[in-house]
Amino acid sequence: MPKSVAPSAINLTERIEQLSSKRQEIIRPILEHPREYVLLSIRALATRLKTDPATIVRIVQSLGFENYRQFQRHLHELSLAFATSLDTMQQSKHDGGSGQPAADAVLRDLKNLQGLKNSLDPQRFTRLAKRIYSARRIAILAGDLAVVIADYLTYQFNLLGLPVFSATSPGSITHTVRAADRNDLVIAISFRRGLRPTVDGAEQARARGAYCVGITDTYVSPLERHCNELFLASIDSLSFGASYTAPMALANAILTSVGDFRRARTMQIVRELAEEQRTGSRWSIP
């Protein structure tokens, strides 16, 4: 395994099964309730689990982590994936602290955006734009609130005349991926633990040869197992709902890269749009 890279979800499950029964009993509570353990030092963790630090280190290394710190980072990702509205509301009592919830919410959105900015790799966006233009069909899979991002991408891809389809219900996802093949590009959008129809759709599409791109907020997302590549954007929030500020910014970054990849073609389209935007009947101000 490359240095500093955590084991995949599949490898982790296999490694847990290879542990002795006693060690499995020690590690499972941590992985099932990561939020309760993520901030503990190795000594505090060992004390809580009634074992010793050396045993914890051996278990962590047996699971494929280099050290306890890397394991803690994995627990942090798990705590994000399993977060509920209750967790985020409880967090807000201890975070921010300005006494101005609206200001604190904006500051958290800025933090999410900064994390996205720091992780951007322009070459990945260029390669994705190339795949989008070469795809026979682009299918965007999403459910629940992620439909907002799917609709945004679909609208803008349509504007550029790209062959895009949006599937946002279990039935439509099933029917959409049934026809997928190696000439298609599938974008699956789901956050935290991942909605089953979206994850299953990505799995089926990839099995049929489609190139699958996941948009999610953590590398422990089940989309990691079924997509060729992941784009991450935090949805961390101080309120009852997830914040989609960073995912929408990610979607806009993808669209900007697509528009710029064939700039002459895009300019031709927007020149035609400009006339309608100036004089079209659907605008209320003459």
Per DSSP, the three-state class of 250 is helix
* pLDDT tens column, 11-56: 777 788 888 988 888 888 888 788 888 888 999 999 988 899 999 9
2 band by pLDDT with thresholds 50, 70 and 90: very low
Average pLDDT value for residue range 59-81: 86
* pLDDT tens column, 196-211: 999 999 999 999 999 9
CATH topology of domain 117-278: Rossmann fold (3.40.50)
* pLDDT tens column, 267-279: 999 998 888 888 7
**CA 193 vs CA 22, 35, 156, 165: distances in Å:** 28, 14, 27, 24
pLDDT at 255: 97
What is the residue extent of each domain of the chain?
A: 9-81, 117-278
Per DSSP, the three-state class of 140 is strand
Q: What is the mean pLDDT of the chain?
A: 88
Q: Is 117-278 in the same CATH topology as 9-81?
A: no
pTM comes to 0.78
CA geometry: angle 109, 113, 119, nearest 5 deg: 150
Is residue 87 pLDDT above 90, yes or no? Answer: no
Contacts 24+ apart (CB under 8 A), 29-35: 30/75, 31/75, 31/78, 34/75, 34/76, 34/78, 34/79, 34/82, 35/79, 35/82, 35/83, 35/87
1 band by pLDDT with thresholds 50, 70 and 90: very low
User: Which letter does DSSP use for residue 33 in this model?
Assistant: S
CATH topology of domain 9-81: Arc Repressor Mutant, subunit A (1.10.10)
Average pLDDT value for residue range 174-180: 94
Q: Which residues touch 205 (CB under 8 Å, ≥6 apart)? A: 139, 141, 177, 180, 184, 186, 188, 212
Q: What is the distance in angstroms between the CA of the first residue and the CA of the last residue of the chain?
A: 63
- Distance CA(236)–CA(273), nearest Å, equals 36
Spatial contact of 26 and 49, defined as CB atoms under 8 Å apart: yes
